Amino acid sequence: MKILQNFWNSPIGPKTSHFWGPVVGWGIPIAAMVDTNQPPELISGNMTTVMCVYSALFMRFAWMVQPRNLHLLALHAANESVQLYQLSRWMKFRGFLGDKSLQQKNEEAET
Amino acid sequence: MAGSKLQSFWNHPAGPKTIFFWAPTFKWGISIANVVDFSEPPERISYPQQVALMCTGLIYSRFSMVITPKNWNLFGNSIFMAGTGLYQVTRKIR
């Protein structure tokens, strides 16, 4: 009960915009999680790389801002993880990771 | 005169020596990446991602206007982000 009250009245709680901003922002990592089930051809290398840098910066921002915003930190930590995963899928597909890329394998299978 | 203005910018608590400057500045990169991706074929556009960008862009536009102080940088950024998201979605629908 006390925990709920503390949350409700917290400077980053649901009465403040510090809370609802990140709530909205969850759309981005959730969309990326949905996209992990899509084939890697669809991944945009540009956007994924930008997202990786963006979330790394904002994790630091969320930690340093006053009041410290752990909700935002959690959001960007989740996004960072998902975007790094997508980036690794993209790199593997494009052959940047050394082994024969899936793209090449597909092309060879078609011929 | 110009020198001291530059100095007060440089030393500002939300200036270029701090994360409070670089994190929001880099957020423009998302919209720029989206614009670069305009030249990609529409089959490669991801619905969930673009819709998410569009919605967060719109809501953050409003958010940046109701917080104190009003954050015009975030507002412009969010509008642009929402615009690029919307454009990508319409490209894909067509």
User: Closest Cα of chain A to B3: distance in Å?
Assistant: 28
Q: Average pLDDT for consecutive 10-residue bins of chain B (94 residues)?
A: 80 82 86 86 81 85 75 79 82 79
The nearest alpha carbon in chain B to A40 belongs to: B44
**Which residue in B44, B25, B24 sits closest to B34, CA to CA?**
B44
Residue with tokens 């709920």: A4
Interface of A with B in 62-91 (CB under 8 A): 64-65
Residue boundaries of the structural domains of chain A: 16-110
Distance between CA atoms of residues B38 and B80, nearest Å: 14
CB contact under 8 A, B48 and A57: no
**Which residues have CB under 8 Å from B10's CB, separation 6+?**
B16, B17
- The whole-number pLDDT of residue A106 equals 62
Residue boundaries of the structural domains of chain B: 19-93
Enumerate the residues of chain A whose CB falls inside 8 A of the CB of residue B67. Answer: 17
Answer yes or no: are the C-beta atoms of A28 and B39 closer than 8 Å.
no
- The whole-number pLDDT of residue B1 equals 59
- The whole-number pLDDT of residue B58 equals 84
What is the CA angle A80-B65-A5, rounded to 5? 65
Six-digit token string for A56: 């790394």
pLDDT digits (tens, 9 = 90+) for A32-65: 999 999 888 888 888 899 999 999 999 998 898 8
